[in-house]
Amino acid sequence: MRRKLLMGNWKMNKTIAEAKEFALASKQLSEYAKKHNVDLGVAPVYLGLSTVLEANPNLIVAAQNVNEHEKGAYTGEISIPMLQELGVTWSLVGHSERRTYYNESDEACNAKIKALIAAGMVPLYCVGETLEQFEAGATKAVVKEQLYVGLNDLTAGDVKNLVVAYEPVWSIGTGKNASKEIAQDVCGYIRKLLRDKFGDIADEIRILYGGSVKPNNVKQYLGQPDIDGALVGGASLAVESYEELLKNIVE
């Protein structure tokens, strides 16, 4: 049985003080989530990670990115041991904004995912097609490539804690969320690819939908057989709307 997961991606939002305020205000929500078997998390900027962990230790706290090298001459980067020192156990990998603005390739994602898994951390791997690719009917081919290259060189044992997020690029921050049918179709396809590659462990891997998820549309996704949760940007920033998202998932 896969546990439901609500993960907020704060992107480049919230100062440390604002992150702390949210984390403190979300304490009761974590209790509520636990009682209803939902995992609840957020991905703050690096600067906010330890503050959020300290203010609400019951939240899953994910980095938004990580460097695959342990240390060295990589100006501006953050390594896995640095995250682990703070107690961070999750990291997003390959969010479309990183792919678009920072040229992150599937190969680069693969190196990060392998390093995270080797360190016992949880990678949350984001995949999804652009509008152009969607309109060309290339969604599944794109997702397949991202998944196969991103998860290259891993075994069934390696991926047991992996989380995959399907986020169509055209739906991120646009208010144009994918229909539940499209989301289920692609998430079901992702599970099939995972099964082809890794066998039955695919049934334990959580797959999230992301892209303009709001309190009023989240429930339809969670009702789909292959969608286990949501990765939410804009609607995860205010604690009130985060609470509504959670309550609508639980109900």
- Could you list the residues that contact ligand PGA (CB under 6 A)? 9, 167, 172-173, 210-213, 231-235
Q: By C-beta, is 19 or 232 nearer to ligand PGA? A: 232
Which of 16-49 are b and which e, b meaning 16 or more Cβ less than 10 Å from the residue's Cβ?
Answer: eeebbebbebbeebbebbeeeebbbbbbbbeebb
Query: Shortest Cβ distance from residue 108 to ligand PGA (Å)?
Result: 18
Tokens of residue 71, six digits: 């240390």
Q: By C-beta, is 79 or 112 nearer to ligand PGA? A: 112
The one-letter amino acid code at 75 reads T
Query: Shortest Cβ distance from residue 99 to ligand PGA (Å)?
Result: 11
Q: By C-beta, is 108 or 213 nearer to ligand PGA? A: 213
Q: By C-beta, is 205 or 232 nearer to ligand PGA? A: 232
Of 81, 88, 79, nearest to 43 by C-alpha is 88
244 is catalytic: no
Give the Cα separation of 156 and 85 in Å (integer): 27
Which of 54, 77, 95, 132 is flagged as catalytic?
Answer: 95
Q: By C-beta, is 79 or 142 nearer to ligand PGA? A: 142
Which of 85, 107, 167, 240 is flagged as catalytic?
Answer: 167
Of 218, 234, 212, nearest to 4 by C-alpha is 218
Residue 191 Cα distances to 66, 187, 197, 213, 225, angstroms: 25, 6, 10, 21, 10
Query: Shortest Cβ distance from residue 5 to ligand PGA (Å)?
Result: 13
Query: Shortest Cβ distance from residue 195 to ligand PGA (Å)?
Result: 25
Angle between helices 139-150 and 180-198 in degrees, nearest 10: 40
The residue with its CB nearest to ligand PGA is: 233
Length of the chain: 251
181 is catalytic: no
Contact 103, 83 (CB under 8 A): no
Looking at residue 67, what DSSP letter applies? B
Query: Shortest Cβ distance from residue 160 to ligand PGA (Å)?
Result: 23
| H/E element, 84 | helix 80-86
Q: Which residues are catalytic?
A: 95, 167
